[in-house]
Structure 1
């Protein structure tokens, strides 16, 4: 049995806008609830872009903290500490959502191992 939703939602879902370009950051400042940037171990660029997003928010009279910061980080299977360090640095830089990109092929039990090593950073 399928259901359809009719009428307006009681509360619209949060809007996530992802990217790093100046134009994207300006749109995110105006409309996003969450902003995501691909990290790919380039945290200094992500931090710089986050500061730029803060400036754009301020320019339009929006509080920068009203936008949740999210970063996508590639997982290193060969050096899990690299991933753990990058996630920790992202958290220290104000990113509260961490999206882990799992390259293929996936090693056995990879999700369990990540949960054991990365999750403690978030608590």
Structure 2
């Protein structure tokens, strides 16, 4: 990160995985997370569980975000991340604009190229290749941004766009062009290396990504073990994944306490 990077507050998010649970259990987890003091509550955009029983209970992402928009009062909400290939980008932009209004301006629009073949195969979408899915994301982003700009009423704010992925030649180029938040995967050394590559792409497209793109990363375990190094490497949005049906938020509470101690 460069000296032009702004001082961003460290934020803690939770990804409530919408699998192996009744919706009442998910709704309860959202309320508990907000009461704990998380900054962001994410779900994910899949149609089947990613672990455990592959045909277990599962719920759809964006319908759920509409419910969370009404149910919550303070936290930002979003998908980590939306599978680009599942929806027409103009439709997705209108969905995002609507959830933005329902939530009073608390939506983060998470986007990704998609990767879970079963989602595509079982719902009739073309899976293609990793390259074709990344190309599809690149093609969708200008359409999505245009539709957000022309919708009536306009969004309540410029909806932050989060893009997840670490492909160094293509995905990080899309992040440099379009994202307000980049969600990375891997350890602190990976974050540092790919963050530098992102800034190289930013220079190539004329965008100061060190200043304009927030770094986000998934975390687990005790915050003292990894939190300081991740923040030193530039990460300011730290997300803990939690699965159903019980949605144990004890690790989330530890990260919130650690966050609050930083101030």
Does structure 2 conserve the Cα–Cα contact (< 8 Å) formed by 1:88 and 1:121?
A: no
1:119 maps to 2:259: yes
1:47 maps to 2:192: yes
Give secondary structure in 2 for the equivalent of 1:96. Answer: strand
1:30 maps to 2:177: yes
Give secondary structure in 1 for the equivalent of 2:190. Answer: helix
Give secondary structure in 2 for the equivalent of 1:87. Answer: helix
Deviation of 1:110 after TM superposition, in Å, equals 4.0
Cα 1:60/1:72, change in 2 over 3 Å: same
1:72 maps to 2:213: no
Equivalent position to 2:233, from 88, 93, 97:
93
Cα 1:61/1:107, change in 2 over 3 Å: closer
Question: RCO (CA 8 Å, sep 6+): is it higher in 1 or 2?
Answer: 2
Distance in 2 between residues matched to 1:56 and 1:108, nearest whole Å: 37
Q: Who is 2:160 aligned against?
A: 14
What's the Cα RMSD here? 2.6
Deviation of 1:15 after TM superposition, in Å, equals 0.3
Distance in 1 between residues matched to 2:188 and 2:158, nearest whole Å: 31
Give secondary structure in 2 for the equivalent of 1:101. Answer: strand
Deviation of 1:97 after TM superposition, in Å, equals 1.3
Distance in 1 between residues matched to 2:161 and 2:178, nearest whole Å: 7
Distance in 2 between residues matched to 1:107 and 1:7, nearest whole Å: 39
Give secondary structure in 2 for the equivalent of 1:100. Answer: strand
Give secondary structure in 2 for the equivalent of 1:8. Answer: coil
Give secondary structure in 1 for the equivalent of 2:235. Answer: coil
Does structure 2 conserve the Cα–Cα contact (< 8 Å) formed by 1:35 and 1:70?
A: yes
Distance in 1 between residues matched to 2:213 and 2:251, nearest whole Å: 31
Does structure 1 conserve the Cα–Cα contact (< 8 Å) formed by 2:242 and 2:248?
A: no
Q: Which runs of no fewer than 5 residues in structure 2 stay unpaired?
A: 1-69, 71-97, 102-151
Distance in 2 between residues matched to 1:107 and 1:9, nearest whole Å: 34
